[in-house]
Amino acid sequence: MPITVPIETAERNLRSLLERLRLGETATLVSSTGAPEALLVSLKANADKPQSALEWDAQWDALSERVTQAWRSERSAVEILTEMRRRTSQ
């Protein structure tokens, strides 16, 4: 289940925050103005039963949709990444 956490809270309680997240779950860190600043994705293995491929895909699809809805640029992420790669290879 994705959560949203102020950066200041994450700084004080990072260990606790990481312990709450399960494999693939996310925590969006937001500034004092509420603007997203970072996204943490847990890589910690579950002690519970492993997720099926369908559950994993569904979680990533949901994350993709959240990123798409929050995207604030006229250009797509792919376009921006392509330009960045082109610049670094020159």
Residue 48 pLDDT: 62
Residues 32 and 11: beta-carbon distance below 8 Å: no
The percent of residues in the chain predicted with pLDDT above 90, rounded, is 28
Of 36, 41, 86, 34, the C-alpha closest to 62 is 41
Phi, psi of 31 (to 5 degrees): -75, 180
pLDDT tens, position by position, 22-47: 888 899 999 999 899 999 998 887 66
- Evaluate if pTM is beyond 0.75: no
Of 26, 19, 23, the C-alpha closest to 51 is 23
The ranges assigned to domains in the chain are: 3-89
Residues 8 and 30: beta-carbon distance below 8 Å: no
